Amino acid sequence: MDSLPAATQMGTEYYRVADMETRVESLFHSIALVVSAFILGTFLIAGAGSVLSALGFDVTSTATLPPLAYAALTATQFVGFFAVVAAYLTWRSDEQFFQVAVPSLRDLGWVVAGFVALFAVASALSAVIQAAGVDSATNQVITQGQQDPVRFLYLIPVTFLFVAPAEELLFRGIVQGLFRRAYGVVPAVVLASAVFGAMHYFALLGSEGSVVSTLAVAAALGLVLGTLYELSENIAVPVVVHGLWNTMSFLLQYLQATGAVGG
């Protein structure tokens, strides 16, 4: 995935320490990209909220919005992510940060393996957290959806069209790509996953329970997605797995909230 000669890349693909300029660039560009994506997303949400207010919706709290309006507002934030990614790629148009292609049969195999790996990691961590008696914080999306379960169904297309591709392009595509150039594959996956986990902090504000355990789970799932990208060398693979994972989570939450299955 890097442009190093094959003979050189063999010994430096998994771990290396690049020059100081590359290392500093990887850190500051990654932070700037993530912060910019959230800031732009926040501005876009504010603008969309004004439009919804003009249409007669009560936007004083997202909890009061009907499902379709809430889904539209959620999608708006990730338009900001797309815009930041597009701007950065345009600025660095002479460089390639990730590879993307229509998924092949091999890629579909990676999708299945990645989904199974996510399930295994999430289940193991959940068991450890429960055994430790830790009450994890709950994402605001889940908390509000439990009060209005239909929201979970509206969020399924949003997660496939906006959330999963926007987050994967930003974190696995560019951030992991920047760290890979500076430190190699293994540190890149770890560092990008740490950033990915930390960014979920904002979705946990106001929630009861342990924020640390929830962020740790998000970072661990990021490790799986990051590894999956490095193995498949196609950003579409973690995008699909991410979308499927969120879809399963929303469907399960919907069934539990409506009493179709036990909690």
pLDDT in tens, 25-35: 999 999 999 99
pLDDT in tens, 121-174: 999 999 999 999 888 888 888 888 888 899 999 999 999 999 999 999 999 999
Sequence-ordered list of residues with C-beta below 8 angstroms from that of 161, at least 6 positions apart, any chain: 75
The whole-angstrom separation of Cα 151 and Cα 90 is: 35
Bridge partners of 210, per DSSP, are 136
Token pair, residue 180, equals 């890979």
- The rounded Cα 223 to chain-centroid distance in angstroms is 11
pLDDT in tens, 219-231: 999 999 999 999 9
> Which residue's entry shows tokens 């100081």?
20
The whole-angstrom separation of Cα 43 and Cα 249 is: 28
Rounded mean pLDDT of 162-189?
96
- The Cβ of residue 147 has, within 10 Å, a number of other Cβ atoms equal to 9
User: Tell me, what's the pLDDT at 209?
Assistant: 80
Rounded mean pLDDT of 178-201?
94
How are the residues of the chain apportioned to helix, strand and coil, as percentages rounded to the nearest 5? 75, 0, 20
Give residue limits of the domains in the chain.
17-94+103-257
The whole-angstrom separation of Cα 48 and Cα 202 is: 19
Give yes or no for a contact between 149 and 253, defined as CB atoms under 8 angstroms apart: yes
